[in-house]
Structure 1
Amino acid sequence: MAHSRLTDVIHSLFRVVIGLLFAFHGAAKLFGLFGSKTAQLGHWPGWWAGLIELVTGLLVLVGLFTRPAAILASGTMAYAYFVVHQPAALLPMQNRGETAALYCWIFLLIAAIGPGAYALDRYLPDLRATATRHRQART
């Protein structure tokens, strides 16, 4: 299978769109945006879920620390599904847990395949090398 520039663009666009949508969920919980009710500051699990969704969504969006952020986001959605939705009914169609289940698997996929070609993570090795050279030059 040939890897093309179009594949790189689509891979990165997928990550950006998912990160943006997830960040919107977090912003809605934290700030009452989009007609949502604001979670009470520090309240478990709603406020903390919103914080995790906002931060991990933004990190995935820009492609910075993408794999760890995606793993945390996936785990958060697994928790949401099994603790919040699954007790109401077994299947996502019955317990309104489709979004949590989808995000869980999507973020697991992003963690597995990485951020794509157009991500800030691609520049981290260069930044580390530059920082190391600066430290060595001072000594």
Structure 2
Amino acid sequence: MNVDRFGGPALSLFRVVTGLLFLCHGLASVFGVFGGSRGTGQPIPFGTWPGWWAALIQVVFGTLVLIGLATRVGALLSSGSMAYAYFVVHQPAALLPLNNGGELAVLFCWSFFLVAVLGPGRWSLDAAIRRHRAGGLGAYAPAPARVSP
């Protein structure tokens, strides 16, 4: 059994799940869905710095990472926003993430950094666009139709 063949699909699924969780977190903060911001059931007031803007980044770039479009850029910006969140919001309260509530920020930061470095994987719009520009669908091309004589 070749374990390497699961690397591409696993990376794609990791990207999808990470992007979806980031998107949901942003939607909760911007629109008050899924329990709202910090479980209050309320959205963050429009334009509030830095919370509303961070949530907007989560919605926009979480969506891009989820679908695999402009993935490396979206993941890098998402990683940076979570590094900012950790060092500005969480780290001043205590040094360690377990003591300052910054576990999610750290996990998102490093998860997005990994996606930015490794790319979106085969199951992404970026990969589909690349295959299309190369002149074919690669492994996803349908079998040729049989023509009767």
Shift of 1:115: 0.2
- TM-score, normalization by structure 2: 0.81
Q: Which residue in 2 is equivalent to 1:91?
A: 96
Unaligned runs of 5+ in 2: 37-41, 136-149
Aligned pair in 2 of structure 1 residues 126, 86: CA closer, same or farther (>3 Å)? same
Structure with greater proportional helix content: 1
Unaligned runs of 5+ in 1: 131-139
Q: For 1:50-65, list aligned pairs within 5 A.
A: 50-65=55-70
Q: For 1:68-107, list aligned pairs within 5 A.
A: 68-107=73-112
Structure 2 counterpart of 1:124, one-letter code: I
Q: State, as a whole percentage, how many aligned pairs show the same letter.
A: 56
Q: For 1:6-21, list aligned pairs within 5 A.
A: 6-21=6-21
1:22 and 2:22 matched: yes
Shift of 1:2: 6.3
CA–CA distance in structure 2, aligned partners of residues 3 and 126 of structure 1: 21
Give the stretch that moved more between structures: 30-39 or 68-77: 30-39
Aligned-residue CA RMSD (Å): 1.7
1:117 and 2:118 matched: no
Aligned pair in 2 of structure 1 residues 85, 16: CA closer, same or farther (>3 Å)? same
Structure 1 counterpart of 2:121, one-letter code: G
Q: Secondary structure at the match of 1:34?
A: coil
Aligned pair in 2 of structure 1 residues 43, 98: CA closer, same or farther (>3 Å)? same
CA–CA distance in structure 2, aligned partners of residues 128 and 100 of structure 1: 36
Shift of 1:8: 1.9
1:3 and 2:4 matched: yes
Structure 2 counterpart of 1:3, one-letter code: D
Structure 1 counterpart of 2:71, one-letter code: T
Q: Which has the larger radius of gyration?
A: 2
Shift of 1:3: 3.2
Shift of 1:123: 2.8
Q: Secondary structure at the match of 1:35?
A: coil
Q: For 1:34-53, list aligned pairs within 5 A.
A: 34-36=34-36, 37-53=42-58
Structure 1 counterpart of 2:73, one-letter code: P
- TM-score, normalization by structure 1: 0.86
Question: How many aligned positions are there?
Answer: 129
